[in-house]
Amino acid sequence: MPKYHSYKAAFERIKDAIGKGFYFEAVALCESIMSDRLLSFVKGDSDAKVSVRTGFGELISKTRNLQPALSALWDELDEWRKSRNTVVHGFAKSEPTEPTTEVAVALASAEKTAREGVTLTTKVCGWHKKQLRKHKREIKKAKTL
């Protein structure tokens, strides 16, 4: 049950963060949830050497290899990951002597990324639930043989 409580709290914080304009928190929490779901799938469906320290991009890649039929979802997720990197790392970071992105523009981009993250997080969680149900059916079927 602790995972359920963590997810419930994370989704509440995401909603609250977006409502209050704390888009970076929402983005980070979305990535945390999606990474957890991908990690669970990869660890449960392969002998891949992954852990909580495995990067988001690598988890997407390994999941794509295990489920290539869903390439559109993995492409969407990888594009979001790139937006997340731009938003998080680009707010205050720039080349020396180059200006950073205007704050209003950066915040608008962060909001867009946060909102897209909520949609993707919901998709990834739904996909993961289907995978768990499928796995349970396979176990049940194997026991009856």
Mean pLDDT of the region 61-87: 96
CA separation for the pair 39, 117 (Å, rounded): 17
Radius of gyration of the chain (CA): 17
Q: What is the pTM of this model?
A: 0.92
Report the percentage of the chain scoring pLDDT > 70. Answer: 99
Task: Tell me how many domains the chain contains.
Answer: 1
Between 142 and 5, name the one with better pLDDT.
5
Length of the chain: 145
Mean pLDDT of the region 105-114: 98
Largest Cα–Cα distance in the chain?
Answer: 69
The residue among 4, 13, 23 whose CA lies nearest residue 83 is 23
Domain that holds residue 45: 2-144
